[in-house]
Amino acid sequence: MLSKHHDPVIAIATAPGRGSVGIVRISGPNVREFAQALAQKTLQPREATYLAFRDAQGVPIDHGLLIFFPGPHSYTGEDVLELQAHGGPIVLQLLVARCFELAQDCRPPRQQPLLPSLRMAQAGEFTQRAFLNDKLDLAQAEAIADLIDASTEAAARSASQSLSGVFSKEVVVLKDALVHLRMLVEATLDFPEEEIDFLKKADAEGQVVRLSQSLSQLTQRAQQGALLREGLTVVIAGQPNAGKSSLLNALAGAELAIVTPIAGTTRDKVQETIQIEGIPIHIVDTAGLRASEDIVEKIGIARTWDAIGAADALVFLHDISQATAAKYIAADEDIASATARILPKHVPIIHVWNKGDLMAPAPSQEGIVISAKHGQGLEALRHKLLEVAGWSAPAGGVFIARERHLQALRRVAAHLENAHLHLKAHIQTLDLMAEELRLAQLALAEITGEFTPDDLLGVIFSKFCIGK
């Protein structure tokens, strides 16, 4: 995609389907002449012009608005033309076809086509051009996709924060402090006889410590932002008839899963996303775990174990009415042993006792007691899910973040730690300290896109929708 970013591109910029308004967008160099040929009049920049969009024979395709944004004062930084028409898919396709036709037109008095290299835009190409033309940095560009995809109000507001540059500004502040320290260390390498006193007077170690503290705070906020974006996948597992489907329905507030007294009713996993304080929680109901000869049920049980292995948290649901039955206890122990072998050690297990409306828990019973049928204990379970997710809204607010941002911040932390160790070793390893600071700076620059491999850009923008 990067090799062709000078071509003019066109795409339908509104979502597929029917709507009251649809937009066709064109971006690229030298779009002004094309825009005026399409309008058959002189256009004023950023001024909506109402007109008939006509085909080659002069027959109206539709009536709508045409707006021309000359670069660099546009979304992409290039000349941008928007055609706003009625939102029928056929109408918009006809407008795109007409634009391609006009782009190749070289009838007198024109000596050559208006936009001979016009092509369909690839996914995310308009935003990619905005990034390449310094209209926004990479973190802001990603925030656009996150704003579109936000599944909760909190996620949308956090994406808006990142789009406005809050996250990027904090990264830049950290990077500037890092660059200052790096310049200080590298300057001492030219004057080895004075470097120790020079670094002490400049409080180089204090600067490293303060950088690490600022980085830790930024990472904590980024982790919260990543949680808002990705959510938490919670698998409900346990023996048949423990009430897993009832719990899913209770948390979702809807009858999503079939509930019967017959053991083995759930044969396959059922998933629903709920919100708890704005955090998306992806709840997965699974088939009950037991020995079975039923072929279909065995497949469902195998899928349950697959789901458990991929969980961010596990709700191990027990039937409190069977809490003292030896056979039931033994089966629970077998499930616990198998789970310990499959589940990564960092994944939390929440023990929940259902059917608390039938009997009181024993004094020694650990876990949360609920009644999925009557709603008892559900609020405590919701708070526990937030706790294991690690959610705590930072005082400075939340911005949206991605896993690649967290990975970059972790690399910065590792390089700063190494730099601190080299500083303590003084003269012998100051050149290594300077290198660690350089690597930390590069890791930070990846977040905003100052230093980003082209293949990573391709992956990021390919996940955008067409027309954005």
Q: Is 107 annotated as a binding residue?
A: no
pLDDT band with cut points at 50, 70 and 90 for residue 452: low
> Does the annotation list 242 as a binding residue?
yes
pTM: 0.76
Range with the poorest average pLDDT among 134-143, 160-169, 189-198, 322-331:
189-198
Would you say 160 is a known binding-site residue? no
Res 95: pLDDT: 95
Omega of the bond prior to 45 within 30 degrees of 0, cis?
Answer: no
Query: What is the average pLDDT score of the chain?
Result: 85
**CA nearest neighbour of 78 among 40, 139, 131:** 131
Helix (H/G/I), strand (E/B), else coil: 242: coil
All residues at 6 or more sequence positions from 149 whose CB lies less than 8 Å from its CB, including other chains: none
**pLDDT for residue 1 is more than 90:** no
pLDDT at res. 197 = 66
Number of other CB atoms surrounding residue 288 within 10 Å: 24
Q: Is 295 annotated as a binding residue?
A: no
* Cα separations in angstroms, 282 against 287, 389, 457: 17, 12, 29
With 0-12 CB in 10 A as exposed, 13-18 as middle and 19+ as buried, what is 81? buried
When mean pLDDT is compared across 217-231, 265-279, 379-393, the lowest value belongs to: 265-279
What is the rounded average pLDDT of the residues 345-368?
83
Percent share of the chain, pLDDT over 90: 38
331 marked ligand binding residue: no
Rounded (10°) CA dihedral 125, 127, 130, 136: -150
* pLDDT interval class at 100 (50, 70, 90): very high
Residue 3 is labelled as binding a ligand: no
Average pLDDT of the segment spanning 363-390: 86
| pLDDT one-digit tens code per residue, 395-424 | 666 788 888 999 999 999 999 999 888 887
Neighbours of 92 (CB within 10 A): 24
Whether the per-residue pLDDT at 21 is higher than 90: the answer is: yes
Of 153-167, 192-206, 294-308, 355-369, highest mean pLDDT:
153-167
What stretches of 312-361 adopt beta strand conformation (E)? 313-319, 349-354
pLDDT at position 352 is: 92
Please say if the pLDDT value at position 79 is more than 80: yes
Which of the pair, 393 or 460, is modelled with greater confidence? 460
Ligand-binding annotation for 243, yes or no, is yes
Task: Please check whether residue 74 is in contact with residue 93, taking contact to mean a CB–CB distance below 8 angstroms.
Answer: no
Q: Any binding-site annotation on 263?
A: yes
- Helices and strands in the chain, H and E counts: 15, 12
The architecture CATH gives domain 147-227+402-449: Up-down Bundle (1.20)
pLDDT above 90 (res 11)? yes
pLDDT at 101 over 80: yes
209 closest CA partner among 445, 432, 421, 396: 421
Residue 19 is assigned to a ligand binding site = no
Residue ranges of the domains in the chain? 2-135, 147-227+402-449, 238-377
Residue 286, marked binder: yes
245 is in an annotated binding site: yes
- 287 among annotated binding-site residues: yes
Least confidently predicted of 28-37, 75-84, 393-402: 393-402
Q: Is 465 exposed, middle or buried (0-12, 13-18, 19+ CB in 10 A)?
A: middle
Residue 463 annotated as binding site = no
Cα separation of 148 and 341, whole Å?
39
pLDDT band for position 267 (cuts 50, 70, 90): very low
Does 135 appear as a known binding residue?
A: yes
CATH 3.90.1520.10 corresponds to the domain 238-377: no
Rounded to an integer, the average pLDDT of 136-165 is 87
Considering the four listed CATH numbers 3.40.50.1460, 3.30.1360.120, 3.40.190.10, 3.40.50.2300, the one that applies to the domain covering 2-135 is 3.30.1360.120
